[in-house]
A and B are shown apart, each in its own frame.
Chain A
């Protein structure tokens, strides 16, 4: 026995263990109820998240399909609009609008091409410019009288009147 053992410790009451276990079991029960409530909340939140994700995915897929269809075809094509090749009864409203837009673009491209074609021959027939193009020569004015001995503009002086 150590001399320190004279220092008495406080001893537990007889029912301490029973009270402690009761408290622990009560705590476990309330925790279990809380856990069940928490799991129910989590399940509801998960179901909601799945629904929202489904709606978002559906919307995204629809928008993606629209953007793929609306991508412009090769810009240099001058072929007839597809609306002329497809049965109009098979086209939906969106496809019809798209075909109309494509037809308008093709018509504009044809009009521009026509104008270019008309302008090109005129440029080809234009005469080549001469070296003195735009030069205006000045002819000397002659006031000499026939037979004027001092005149130099009419050639050699004549014998005079």
Chain B
């Protein structure tokens, strides 16, 4: 089902193909594509039932990038056992929130790493007490041209110490 949230994607084409002349001239010769984007995840704040993964982005191109980051999939395992994940969402786009929070494009300048998003998981109570956890996350990245690619992050270790430190 199409929802009004997709306004941005329709607009994307119109906006990208018709930059102002002044803007286009200034940008000549500078380039950044999804190929210049590297994403990594680190354990952020946790509660008894939620786990936040901070997504760091590095843009190695020569111009700023505009991307949407979406939670595509996540698998959390402790040893051989897979832990159930009730919900996952990016930033404050909590799926059960009352107010519509539209997906946002994020501006990533060329240069040092920046915190580009926060991937949130709602997990079973008690996960904090387990050790040797491994989290595999796939993000859907929407480019400024409206193209969507899936990016698998390096698996993230959910060690008991990292949970206790956060």
Say whether A associates with B: no
